[in-house]
Amino acid sequence: MSGRSVILAVEDKLSEAVSTKILEGLGIDISQRLGLKGKGYLQSKAPSLNQTARGFRAFMLTDQDAPSQCPPQLVQTCHTSTAGIPRIPRPIK
Residue 39 has a pLDDT of 81
Q: Is the pLDDT of residue 93 over 60?
A: no
- Each residue's pLDDT tens digit, 18-58: 999 999 999 999 999 988 888 888 888 888 888 887 888 88
Helix (H, G, I), strand (E, B) or coil at 59: strand
Dihedral over Cα of 41, 42, 48, 52: its sign: positive
Give the whole-angstrom CA distance, residue 60 versus residue 8.
6
Is 90 exceeded by the pLDDT of residue 75? no
Does the pLDDT value for residue 83 go beyond 50? no
Q: What length does the chain have?
A: 93
CB contact set of 30 (below 8 Å; sequence gap of 6+): 5, 6, 7, 8, 20, 23
Q: What is the pLDDT of residue 84?
A: 45
